[in-house]
Amino acid sequence: MADSFELIVTRKDPVLVSPASETPKGLHYLSNLDQNIAIIVKTFYYFKSNTRSNEESADVIKKSLSEVLVHYYPAAGRLAISPEGKIAVNCTGEGVVVVEAEANCGIEKIKEAIWEIDQPETLEKLVYNVPGARNILEIPPVVVQVTNFKCGGFVLGLGMNHNMFDGIAAMEFLNSWAETARGLPLSVPPCLDHTLLRPRTPPKIEFPHNEFEDLEDISGTGKLYSDEKLVYKSFLFGPEKLEKLKIMAETKTTTFQTLTGFLWRARCQALGYKPDQRIKLLFAADGRSRFVPELPKGYSGNGIVFTYSVTTAGEVTLNPLSHTVGLVKSAVEMVTDGFMRSAIDYFEVTRARPSLTATLLITSWVKLSFHTKDFGWGEPVVSGPVGLPEKEVILFLPCGSDTKSINVLLGLPGSAMKVFEGLMDI
Q: Reduced to 3 states, what is the DSSP secondary structure of residue 351?
A: coil
What is the rounded CA–CA span in Å between residue 267 and residue 259? 12
Q: Reduced to 3 states, what is the DSSP secondary structure of residue 307?
A: strand
What are 285's strand-pairing partners?
305
Tell me, rounded to whole angstroms, the distance of Cα 306 from its chain centroid. 14
Residue from 28, 162, 209, 371 carrying the catalytic annotation? 162
Give 206-253 as a DSSP string.
-S--GGG------S-HHHHHHHS-EEEEEEEE-HHHHHHHHHHHTS--
What is the rounded CA–CA span in Å between residue 168 and residue 284? 12
CA atoms within 13 A on the CB side of 263: 33
Q: Reduced to 3 states, what is the DSSP secondary structure of residue 422?
A: helix
Q: Reduced to 3 states, what is the DSSP secondary structure of residue 350?
A: helix
Query: Sheet containing 359-364: which strands, arranged edge to edge?
Result: 230-237, 402-413, 393-399, 359-364, 278-286, 304-312
Tell me, rounded to whole angstroms, the distance of Cα 180 from its chain centroid. 24
What is the rounded CA–CA span in Å between residue 105 and residue 394? 31
What is the rounded CA–CA span in Å between residue 420 and residue 272? 11
Q: Catalytic: 34?
A: no
What is the rounded CA–CA span in Å between residue 224 and residue 59? 47
Kind and range of the H or E run holding 6 = none
Residue from 193, 217, 286, 374 carrying the catalytic annotation? 374
Q: Catalytic: 323?
A: no
Which residues form the catalytic set?
162, 374
